[in-house]
Structure 1
Amino acid sequence: MSEHVIDVQGLTKRYGDKTVVDGLSMQVKRGEIYGFLGPNGSGKTTSIRMMCGLLTPDAGQGHTLGYDVVQQAAAIKREVGYMTQRFGLYEDLSIRENLDFVARIYGMDRRRERVDQALARLGLEGRQQQLAGSLSGGWKQRLALAACMLHEPRLLLLDEPTAGVDPKARRDFWDEIHKLAHEGITVLVSTHYMDEAERCHRLGYIAYGKLLAMGTPAELVNQSGLVTWRLAGPTAGDLVAELEHAPGVEMVTRFGNTLHVSGSEQATLATTLRPYQDRSDLNLQHGEPALEDVFIHLMRRSADNYAPH
């Protein structure tokens, strides 16, 4: 069997005269957690749906789990767990009733055994009689993941699964995702959170329908060509407008009382920032660009596919 669970080339999806996904080519390895990042409207969800057989691409080809994404979409869907951004289970049913209902709808064998295993895996046994509507966001998220796992999928596609969930619940969720990957399950997850991106084995950044960069978090930082300086102090925020138009400065990002000042021309940027080095109210230090710096830089350099021509 191929080491690639997802292997697609040139996937394209259009709606009218708008190209939502434009020539997407990517590979995801077995047991890998692959993070899919990009701004709202970038084509992440459309890409995921094409790869799991829910949408037919207008152009391109490829395979998911060894099945042709165009010709064998039904076979893909049987072996994929797809968790959407919005909670889609019944709030007036208990946790166990929801899972049992999903198993019945899909005609699963070993129904009770599957439900018991899902409850145990996600730590839901003690709450199994609680109504889904009374759960917090983090527990609803666990229930949704448990429902995705009932049919023992080989691939999980998670579309912004932690949106609106508190930091502890997000951390617990990611611990579970890493356990699944360790068992050999492949995970493709879209997210807006940079701390989550750093927990992925590899990342792809999509903006306005095009995949702009791909690699490990460290590789993306190294490949960006960005140089970043950190300018900290109580008056640093007052310098944003001044710095944004200075030579060599391509991007200024605020982090509290610290500015990340980034650019591709190292010597020019250093010359621009040198006068701030001697100010007693500021601390200037050279540092590595953060993933967020890299992704904002990529987005600013790409063209909006929904912009009027």
Structure 2
Amino acid sequence: MANSALEVQALSKRIGNKLIVDGVSFQIQKGEIFGLLGPNGAGKTTIIRMIVSLINRTGGKVFIDGTDIDSNFSEAMNKLGAIVENPEFYKYMTGYQNLKHYARMSLSPISQERIDEIVKLVDLENAIHQKVKTYSLGMRQRLGVAQALLHNPSIIILDEPTNGLDPQGIREFRQHLRTLADQGIAVLISSHLLSEIELMCDRYVIIEKGKLIHSASIHEGNDVEQEQLREVIFTVNSSETAIKLLKNLSISNVVKKSEQSIMLMLPYEEIAKINAHLVKNEIAISEITVTRKTLEDRFIEITNQQEEMAVK
């Protein structure tokens, strides 16, 4: 637990006879961006609300930077920053005035220098003295991150932080999160936008019907896939000649995609051998495209497997 910014152990939540969250456990390391994934209604927000103590837990433990929130609540919460739902500010005040207001409510003193440092970190220097009502959604999100960082937490928790942002805003937000992680701050992001999580996160877990059903590194699946068949498209000068050549080698699973492209299902390590053989036999290759499973592909595959297991 020494390097863990957050650890949850067997977290559960029951409402009436319904188990909303069922024994969820995971750890987040310092300097790591961690994704909490799942369809809407899977229990992600309930997990976050229990971590930040907005709702009571039915069972389980939460440790923030090694501190048990049950035995030392104030110390633990002082190591955590969070944005649950959309960040709310006084719109008639400037961004700076809002931050000063939140700084005054902190358990420990927050200096003028710290506020200026955070404003620079989230790239709001040019707008911080404007009224919040003039801010775009992306600027308000960054101001929310600034507010969450004021007291120098070990981890910040963001629930669906890119909702409503345009592509440019999402990209900028992603870059700011990586800057935070590079400074040793852990980030927990809850989202159902898998393409964004794939670009943002280092590791992720999948929550399905309140249960943690999968945990992995973002890049872990690609290493496994190297042992499996991959769809490989070769762009060549003559697909007919290439197919005939490969069939002479008893490679029969060749599909003609066009006059200049063929598709094969190959183990990863066989791609270079096929390429070398084609070139040796004077087939000009201008491109090789290897498909890989996206996080969305893996998510659907894993959740479908869970449904099949439930039926059985």
| Same fold flag (TM > 0.5) | yes
Deviations 1:87-124 (A, max 9, x none): 31122211111111111233652443332222222221
Measured on the aligned residues, the alpha-carbon RMSD in Å equals 3.0
Give the corresponding residue for 1:205.
Answer: 206
**1:153 is matched with which residue?**
153
One-letter amino acid of the structure 1 residue matched with residue 112 of structure 2: R
Distance 2:154 2:29 in 1: 12
1:290 match? 294
Residues 83-98 of structure 1 correspond to what in structure 2 (within 5 A)? 83-98=83-98
* Residue matched to 1:22: 22
User: For each residue in 1:212-235, what CA deviation from the matched residue of structure 2 results, as whole angstroms up to 9, or x when unmatched?
Assistant: 11111122455689877599xxxx
Q: Aligned runs of 1:1-309 on 2, under 5 Å?
A: 2-106=2-106, 108-191=108-191, 192-220=193-221, 277-278=255-256, 286=265, 287-302=291-306
Larger Rg, first or second structure (1 or 2):
2
Runs of at least 4 residues off by over 6 Å: 224-228
Answer whether contact 1:213 1:220 (CA < 8 A) is retained.
Answer: no
Unpaired segments ≥5 residues, structure 2:
234-252, 266-290, 308-312
Q: For each residue in 1:121-180, what CA deviation from the matched residue of structure 2 results, as whole angstroms up to 9, or x when unmatched? A: 222122122111221111111111111111111111111111111122212222121121
Indicate conservation of the 8 Å contact 2:137/2:164, yes or no.
Answer: yes
8 Å CA contact 2:78, 2:107 repeated in 1: no
Q: Cα 1:8–1:189, aligned 2, differ >3 Å: closer, same or farther?
A: same
Query: CA–CA distance in 2 between the matches of 1:143 and 1:230?
Result: 45
Give the number of equivalent residue pairs. Answer: 263
SS in 2 for 1:184: coil
Amino acid at match of 2:299: F
2:238 corresponds in structure 1 to none
- CA change 1:167–1:226 in 2 (3 A) is farther
Output the CA distance in 2 between the equivalents of 1:13 and 1:70: 16
Amino acid at match of 2:300: I
* Preserved CA contact (<8 Å) 2:195 2:295: yes
SS at match of 2:126: helix
The CA deviation at 1:284 is: 5.3
Contact 2:64–2:80 (Cα < 8 Å) also in 1: no
Following TM superposition, by how much is the alpha carbon of 1:188 offset from its aligned partner in structure 2, in angstroms? 1.1
Shift of 1:194: 1.5
**In the alignment, which residue of structure 2 is the partner of 1:268?**
none
Cα deviation for residue 196 of structure 1 reads: 3.0
Which deviates further from its counterpart, 41-50 or 205-214?
41-50
> Aligned AA for 1:203?
Y
For the structure 1 residues 230 and 77, does the alpha-carbon distance in structure 2 shift closer, same or farther, using more than 3 Å as the test?
A: farther
- 1:231-279 CA distance string (max 9 Å, x none): 9xxxxxxxxxxxxxxxxxxxxxxxxxxxxxxxxxxxxxxxxxx79x457
- Structure 1 alignment gaps of length 5 or more: 232-273, 304-309
Q: 1:183 to 1:278 in 2, by over 3 A?
A: closer
Q: Distance in 1 between matches of 2:56 and 2:230?
A: 42
Retained in 2: the 8 A contact 1:6–1:51? no
Q: Residues 38, 284 of structure 1: CA spacing in aligned structure 2 closer, same or farther, 3 A cutoff?
A: farther
Seq. identity, %: 32
